[in-house]
Amino acid sequence: MITQEHPKAVIVIFGATGDLAKRKLFPSIYRLVQNEKIGNDFAVVGVGRRPWTNDEFRSNVSDSIQTAMKESKNLDNFTSHFHYHPFDVTNPSSYLELNTLLNELDGTYQTEGNRIFFLAMAPEFFGTIAQNLKIQGLTDTNGWSRIVIEKPFGHDHPSAQKLNQEIREAFNEDQIYRIDHYLGKEMVQNIEVIRFSNALFEPLWNNRYIANIQVTSSEVLGVEDRGRYYENSGALRDMLQNHMLQMVALLAMEPPIKLTTNEIRSEKVKVLRALRAISEDEVSDYFVRGQYTSGQLDEQQLIGYREENNVADESQTETYVAGKLLIDNFRWAGVPFYIRTGKRMAAKSTKIIVQFKDIPMNLYYKKGEQVAPNLLIINIQPDEGVTLQLNVKKDGDAGDSKPVKFDLSSNFLDGLNTPEAYEKLIYDCLRGDATNFTHWDEVALSWKFVDPISQAWTKGKAGLATYPAGSMGPKEADELLEEDGNEWWPVY
């Protein structure tokens, strides 16, 4: 339910001295103000343990915005809305002092008792914070209270369920906003529009016309300074369980009867329920995992994953995963959804490629050449837009065809000023629109699908392939598609 178009609220950021707050949250709030999505009736309270003053906090916020934005104006006025309140979140009595501050700011900024608690901290604190907020009365106001939970939401299904129970003891499902920042990306949100508002695509969007769908999210970056977290996560939990499965759900869902949060979620849930479960013994038939070794990209030498900080010498953690998903319903029976994601690959690229089936008869058989399949390419990042691969007549040769790419990206004019994913998601949360956040049912089903895969890998039931940093992943991932007579389409 959308509560306010021009929302007012106090936003409490737990973990305000951390990396996510600095790189994403402060600049996003700044853009919301610049774009007049929120007015002057807001305040931000930062929580961390560092003994900073308000001035130190504001100067950190200011730096973050200057780093993130080409141009920044009115920074002093903007940062005057930021307040810092240091405490250890495991200390229950500190929440009472925080409440006093929030009540005070509520009066100063006329925020009508509306509060967002944004948990930008390690997941082991999520349950404790949620429960203290409730027990110490911070959710008991005249306005609304919402809690935003960062990923990872659990480590597997049992841990996610436990965490969910802890949060649900303090907040109702409709107050919980589980972030999947891919759902805030402009072109991910465009999947529904491209599908459901074009007569050209929707009639073809099924197993009669589509041969396979490929979803790639490749990164050039390595594990950076997140080795400790990543060692316990790997690409399967870090990217596939959440972002990749969410994109598959949007691609495969039935048209919702209305564009409401519940109807869309309910269709996504049906897709996740229809995902063919893979048993531990079948994992290597459907999934490939890989780890980057040293390599080269753009003449730069890159170290291997095992040489990164906080990574074990014999680490078995996958930095790459590719898989074949089957969706057992009438629409998708027999259509493989190939997905792959990895770090230290040749290019940063997130793309969805829909390959249509061949036409029934090839009239353009000269020289034994095949007619190229039609492709619909949804470019999510770094380029945004849509590309169509069609066949046209080969120059000067009446009996032959050639594939041509029609790039429709320049028509996505809004793309020139695309809001950051976090900017949209914070705004949605302020307005009470949870459509682009994940419901517990989606999280639970995703973990149930992923758990046997990670268990098989932990038990060593499938090998760990390697790939040189700067490449497009291990050859075993190519073989996965070759077995079906398919290949990965280029993504950069």
Ligand X SMILES: NC(=O)C1=CN([C@@H]2O[C@H](COP(=O)(O)OP(=O)(O)OC[C@H]3O[C@@H](n4cnc5c(N)ncnc54)[C@H](OP(=O)(O)O)[C@@H]3O)[C@@H](O)[C@H]2O)C=CC1
Ligand Y SMILES: O=C1O[C@H](COP(=O)(O)O)[C@@H](O)[C@H](O)[C@H]1O
Q: Is 20 annotated as a binding residue?
A: yes
Mode of pairing for the β-strands spanning 295-297 and 300-302: antiparallel
Q: Is 216 annotated as a binding residue?
A: no
Question: Which one of ligand X, ligand Y, none is in contact with 173 (Cβ closer than 5 to 8 A by kind)?
Answer: none
Cis peptide before 158 (omega within 30 of 0): no
Residue 219 contact partner, candidates ligand Y, ligand X, none, CB within 5 to 8 A by sort of partner: ligand Y
- Name, in order, each residue with C-beta under 8 angstroms of 63's C-beta and a sequence gap of 6 or more: 22
Please compute, for residue 268, the number of CA atoms within 13 A of its CA located in the half-sphere on the CB side: 31
Does residue 83 have an active-site annotation?
no
Interacting residue with ligand Y among 106, 150, 186, 219 (CB under 6 A) = 219
Plot region of 145 (φ>0 → left; ψ -120 to 50 → alpha; else → beta): beta
Closest approach of ligand Y to the CB of residue 239, in Å: 6
Distance CA 68, CA 86 (A): 25
Encode 74-89 in three state secondary structure: CHHHHHCCEEECCCCC
Long-range contacts of 58-61 (CB under 8 A, 24+ apart): 58/82, 60/17, 60/22, 61/26
Among ligand X, ligand Y, none, residue 487 binds (CB under 5-8 Å by kind): none
Residue 341 marked as a ligand binder = no
Is 185 annotated for ligand binding? yes
18 binds, among ligand X, ligand Y, none (CB under 5 to 8 A by kind): ligand X
* Residues at the interface with ligand X (CB under 6 A): 15-20, 47-50, 88-90, 120-123, 150-152
Judged by CB, which is closer to ligand X: 47, or 61? 47
**Residue of this chain nearest to ligand Y (CB atom):** 238
> Contacts with ligand Y: how many residues (CB under 6 A)?
5
Is 18 annotated in some ligand binding site? yes
Q: Closest approach of Cβ 232 to ligand X, in Å?
A: 11
Beta strands in 36-172 (DSSP E): 42-47, 82-84, 115-119, 145-149
Binding mask 231-270 for ligand Y (x = CB under 6 A): -------xx-------------------------------
Query: In terms of CB distance, is 205 or 422 closer to ligand X?
Result: 422
CA distance 252 to 241: 16
Maximum separation of any 2 CA atoms in the chain, in Å: 82
User: Has 181 been labeled as part of a binding site?
Assistant: yes
Name 141's Cβ contacts closer than 8 Å, sequence gap at least 6: 106, 113, 114, 115
Residue 150 contacts which entry, ligand X, ligand Y, none (Cβ below 5-8 A, type-dependent): ligand X
Q: Per the annotation, does 21 bind a ligand?
A: yes
Cis check: omega of the bond before 382, within 30 degrees of 0: yes
Site for ligand Y in 331-360 (CB under 6 A): 350
Nearer to ligand X, 230 or 427 (CB): 230
Under the criterion CB under 6 A, does residue 442 sit at the interface with ligand Y?
no
| Strand ranges in 161-294 using DSSP code E only, listed in sequence order | 176-178, 210-218, 287-293
Q: Which among ligand Y, ligand X, none contacts residue 342 (Cβ within 5 to 8 A by kind)?
A: none
Q: Which residues are catalytic?
A: 243
The annotation places the binding site for substrate at 181, 185, 219, 238, 343, 348
Instruction: Please give the annotated binding residues, written as ranges.
Output: 15-22, 49, 88-89, 151, 181, 185, 219, 238, 343, 348
Site for ligand Y, rule CB under 6 A: 217, 219, 238-239, 350
